[in-house]
């Protein structure tokens, strides 16, 4: 009989869920029920995957557990996916025209968070739910962080992107210090998910292509905003997780950030030059260099890590990398997560695979590996299986993890 020691405990650090639209109503304060009924009656969902027969993967707890287990996954970090009440789309940065509309959207996010707490409780120890907040009202955000932590949402919070022209302060602004402080105090991870920080570009074919080229870059911006803004210097226990933005970019960006940091700090100590004013006060505000901040405070939800990214794992930080399946999205690795793991990690030392496939996520999000061990013994992929690359890519796989040109390699 195969034991848990022979099998990998796979934790997906990037999954998505949410309630069916009308099922949010019981989680709304009763004063919003009539408004919700009117809103829901006229709402047209813009997302095809939420209208398909498979949409219930977002909220059908039993189906979800069964499909994830069949894919070798025993636990998951749960990001949002469906539309919260009173939002035109899933974007947390959708324009807010009035104070009343802002209040309704806060009510909608609270409804989602409360639904998510129940959804996570339906599978004890196997789901780390990520709570949603808005940045328009920092005091309300702080209260929601405390509520989420007190009610078992161990996935932390989803940090909304702040695209250019959003009308709210940039992420480096000290106005957000109360938010960073409460997250540091409670050990709540701050998650920044790819795709949420791009400015609107329109629907022209060129605009859609430009979005694909730029979307991860706009998501990366949260890293240097918080680093140069000194958030980690003022709140040393703060943790930032960058999810579904790739991972191969990290070493080069850290080198670039260290370069600018060193250059500006040095310039500030010299006689007045055109550049010296850019570095004035930077060293005192930041404390450590960007590279040091990354090593102490930051992690990457690398999702379906691609083979070409794996050789960079030690430069990224082996202890920083968390694999994710992106279930139930089309670009995710389901139902071929075993093949995705084998494609990326075949030939690596067993302890490295164990860390990236689950151990790191357990440490960041507080999963109990002993609790998960019996599930891994039942459904987890064997380390011997993961040690071998797949003979071929599944013909119907839709994840970029299997994109043409991604060679099957053994490291």
pLDDT in tens, 246-304: 999 999 999 999 999 999 999 988 877 878 888 889 889 999 999 999 999 999 999 99
Q: What pLDDT score does 35 carry?
A: 97
Query: Sign of the C-alpha dihedral, residues 266, 271, 276, 277?
Result: positive
Q: What pLDDT score does 91 carry?
A: 67
Q: What pLDDT score does 64 carry?
A: 98
Question: Cα(408)–Cα(247) distance, rounded to whole angstroms?
Answer: 18
DSSP code of 126? S
| Closest of 276, 181, 188 to residue 239, by C-alpha | 188
The answer, as to whether pTM is greater than 0.85, is yes
- Cβ neighbours of residue 121 closer than 8 Å, sequence gap 6 or more: 152
Question: Cα(193)–Cα(340) distance, rounded to whole angstroms?
Answer: 21
Question: Cα(186)–Cα(43) distance, rounded to whole angstroms?
Answer: 37
Task: Return the percent helix, strand and coil in the chain, to nearest 5.
Answer: 50, 10, 40
Q: What pLDDT score does 175 carry?
A: 97
For residue 247, whether the previous peptide bond is cis, meaning omega lies within 30 degrees of 0, is no
Q: What pLDDT score does 93 carry?
A: 63
* Class of the CATH-defined domain 4-402: alpha beta
Give the DSSP letter string of 223-256: HHHHHHTTHHHH-TT--EEEESS-STTHHHHHHH
pLDDT in tens, 57-88: 999 999 999 999 999 999 999 999 999 999 98
Residues of the chain with pLDDT under 50: 1, 406-411
């Amino acid at each position: 009989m195969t034991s848990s020691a022979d099998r990998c405990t796979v934790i997906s650090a990037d999954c998505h869920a949410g309630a069916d639209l009308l099922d949010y109503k019981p989680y709304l304060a009763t004063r919003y029920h009539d408004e919700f009924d009117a809103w829901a009656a006229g709402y047209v969902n813009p997302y095809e995957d939420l209208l398909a027969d498979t949409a219930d993967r977002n909220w059908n707890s039993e189906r979800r557990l069964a499909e994830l287990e069949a894919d070798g996954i025993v636990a998951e970090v749960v990001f949002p996916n469906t539309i919260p009440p009173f939002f035109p789309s899933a974007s947390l940065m959708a324009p807010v025209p009035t104070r009343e509309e802002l209040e309704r959207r806060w009510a909608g996010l609270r409804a989602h968070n409360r639904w998510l707490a129940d959804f996570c409780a339906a599978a004890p120890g196997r789901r780390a739910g990520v709570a949603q907040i808005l940045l328009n009202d920092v005091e309300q955000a702080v209260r929601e962080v405390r509520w989420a932590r007190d009610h078992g949402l161990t996935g932390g919070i989803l940090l909304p992107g702040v695209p250019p022209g959003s009308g709210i302060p940039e992420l480096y602004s000290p106005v957000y210090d109360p938010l960073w402080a409460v997250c540091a105090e409670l050990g709540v991870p701050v998650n920044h998910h790819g795709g949420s920080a791009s400015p609107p570009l329109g629907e022209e074919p060129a605009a859609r292509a430009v979005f694909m080229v730029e979307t991860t870059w706009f998501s990366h911006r949260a890293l240097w905003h918080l680093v140069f803004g000194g958030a980690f210097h003022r709140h040393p226990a703060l943790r930032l997780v960058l999810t579904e933005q790739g991972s191969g970019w990290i070493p080069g960006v850290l080198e670039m950030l260290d370069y600018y940091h060193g250059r500006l700090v040095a310039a500030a100590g010299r006689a007045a030059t055109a550049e010296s004013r850019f570095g004035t006060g930077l060293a005192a505000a930041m404390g450590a260099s960007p590279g040091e901040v990354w090593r102490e405070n930051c992690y990457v939800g690398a999702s379906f890590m691609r083979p070409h990214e794996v050789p960079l794992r030690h430069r990224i930080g082996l202890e920083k990398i968390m694999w994710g399946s992106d279930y139930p999205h089309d670009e995710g690795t389901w139902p071929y997560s075993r093949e995705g793991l084998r494609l990326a990690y075949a030939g690596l030392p067993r302890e490295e695979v164990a860390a990236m496939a689950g151990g790191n996520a357990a440490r960041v999000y507080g999963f109990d590996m002993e609790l998960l061990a019996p599930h891994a013994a039942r459904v987890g992929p064997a380390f011997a299986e993961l040690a071998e690359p797949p003979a071929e890519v599944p013909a119907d796989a839709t994840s970029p993890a299997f994109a043409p040109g991604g060679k099957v390699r053994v490291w």
